[in-house]
Amino acid sequence: MNSENSGSAGQAGEILAGVDLEIAHELPGRIRLKGPFLSHPALDIPFFEAYILAIEGVEDVRINRKASSILIEYHGNSHTRDRILSSLAVPPKEALSDQRHTDTRTEADVSGMIMSAAVLLALPILPMRLRAVISWLSVSPVILEGATTLVTKGLKVEVLDATAVTMVMLRGDYFTANAVHLLLRTGDYIHHTTETNSDRLIRSLLKPETGMVWVEEEGTERQIPISEILPGQLVVVGAGDLIPIDGRIEQGTALVNQASMTGEPVPVRKEVGDTAMSGTVVEEGRIKIKAVGVGSETATARISRYIESSLKTKSVAQRESEKLADSLVPLTFALGGVMAVLTRDLRRATAVFMVDYSCAIKLSTPVCIKIAMYQAGKKGVLVKGGQAIEAMAEVDTIVFDKTGTITTGQFEVTDCISLVEDLDSDGLLALAASAEEHYSHPIADAVVRAAKEKSLVFYDHSEVDFIVAHGVATYVDEKRLLIGNEHFLKDDEGIDFSPVPEIKSRLRDEGKALLFVALDSRLIGVIALRDTIRPEVRAVIARLKELGVRRTVMLTGDDHTRAKAIAESLGLDEFYSELLPEDKVSKIAEFQANGSKVAFVGDGINDAPALMEAEVGISMAQGSDIARATAEVVLLEEGLVGVALAREVSVKTMGLIRTNFGLAVGINSSILIGATLGWLSPLASAILHNTSTIGILLNALTGVSLEQNQAPKER
């Protein structure tokens, strides 16, 4: 056992700086801290729990505001413990905010339910006077809550419950009063348990990335986890790498693709003194960045913000059901009052007061939403709240970006055609790979990978020149070697392309990208590559059709021929090619103007504007931070299976909400009619109402049956 984790004896009394938290008790992998900060009225407990839970290694977090304590369970090692303590010492400013003090979340309290049940069981053996005293004490929280609600919020369900319980108590029917109290507490317990557990799971779904990064220290470069970068360190980023931190460029020059953050389609030149943003990509060059915005605190705070926003967002259905439920409370009061005046039968009026639509209508919808988020999250899809579920259920058009979405973004060599007799296909591949191995680019990587898979011997060559957006040039045996696209070799370098028109046409008709190789001003070969299509795409598209999606569309910057080949092979309804990033946004707006409700699926490299434009933005698992923050749906696992699952869970959840709404209205209307006609006693009315409410909650708790337990199989 590490001495740092040796228990409370050696740790009690240790004070954390900043928020003044004291370690009250500690075991390996488990630590409890106390301090007035945790009972601060402006502390946003769900946000702060999510902030700590997002730290790598943390398994569970529970804050008890009344006890001013936080309990954290984690993988038992000193590094995780240190990160927890440093995060608690200087929490993000968002944890305390005037806008967050209204959070009224309560923990599920089984003790109230047990006490109520104990009083109910003890009533028959207690003397009459003691029954009255204990019963009034037992139900007083309900009456007090009703009085407080009446003063602060007006006629709500709490007032109705308090009125009904008070009337039963005044009639001396202590058994009925305590039975109603037990039913209320049971319903509250089920609701809060469900909400707490589902929220906790959802917050644990999105963890910060744990990749590696190169840093320079005293002239030497070493690789460390991203989470261990410290302010002031020099972070080294090369071509093709994602910039992991915010900072200032100290050395080097690079072309940086900032589309994931700004939406700009054209890479920006960055040099010494310029600012570098995390989440952007170095396309060419190599830079050293002095880290400024770093650490798990920054990443987890950002993640926590958009998880918490998803939990707090209400759908239109939820807002409307709450509005309807609140409007029915005065009607129930009025009906009970009329019955009391007309019949002078307080028993009948009390039976009416025992029935309200609010509980089932108000509670079942958010529970359905939380369970849907829970189910989707367990299967690798983060759906951000009720609005996202509702919008996804209404979508009729799903638009896919091609590169990185329909395809993996990883090219593979499919053809290697030599045009000269003294060089076979393997020799051509080895020659091209010799120069391309110095260039970080998906096509270059594919060529090098193919050559290495064949164990080919690379050629010696001079220093390689990189021509931006064109290709590479070097010398082999004093002969100039050029590798690149047709425009580079033909238009810029004057290479004769007359030997290859038929080859070009055939390969392009097959949807392949072409790389041309020239040696000593002569075209010597063609290498064809294909972006790998995700194997599940066709099955996912077919499943979306089964789930009611009317139209599937692909948008791409590729040429028409290649785009057509891919779209036809996958069974897509439409495709649009040769588009710039801003054209994709225009296409989505065009679909919407024609009445379509659109979901857009992209990887976030240059898709952030399109994700924001669509009714539902869906970010791929490898999407940038800004894409994942912007999107309403985030796929947590690689591939497109989650798109169909998000649609399925949304459609079925909205159906379950409608079913529960119908049950709540139908059952409670029937009970209300029975109470009004005098057919039901207050106890019978309360039992029927509360058990039906619990039944509807349990129906919501079961969630929806999802057919996709694994990736759809190709048909």
Catalytic residues: 401
Partnered with residue 275 across adjacent β-strands are 248
C-alpha span between 481 and 520 (Å, rounded): 7
How do 246-257 and 69-74 pair as beta strands? unpaired
C-alpha span between 557 and 569 (Å, rounded): 18
Residue 379's nearest CA partner among 628, 706, 55 is 706
Looking at this protein, which amino acid is placed at residue 85? L
149 to each of 63, 105, 142, 156, 161, how far by Cα in Å? 26, 16, 11, 7, 11
Residue 32's nearest CA partner among 85, 93, 79 is 85
Beta strands in 563-632 (DSSP E): 574-576, 598-602, 616-619
Q: How far is C-alpha 388 from the chain's CA centre?
A: 11
The label of the residue with tokens 């064809």 reads 528
C-alpha span between 520 and 527 (Å, rounded): 18
Partnered with residue 471 across adjacent β-strands are 467, 484
What's the maximum distance between 2 C-alpha atoms anywhere in the chain? 111
All residues at 6 or more sequence positions from 346 whose CB lies less than 8 Å from its CB, including other chains: 167, 171, 340
> Is the CB of residue 273 less than 8 Å from the CB of residue 248?
yes
Partnered with residue 15 across adjacent β-strands are 22
Q: In what order do the strands lie in the sheet with 69-74?
A: 22-27, 30-34, 69-74, 58-64
**End-to-end Cα spacing for the chain:** 54
C-alpha span between 587 and 557 (Å, rounded): 13
Q: In what order do the strands lie in the sheet with 633-635?
A: 381-383, 633-635, 616-619, 598-602, 397-401, 551-555, 574-576
What DSSP element (H or E) covers 286? strand 281-293
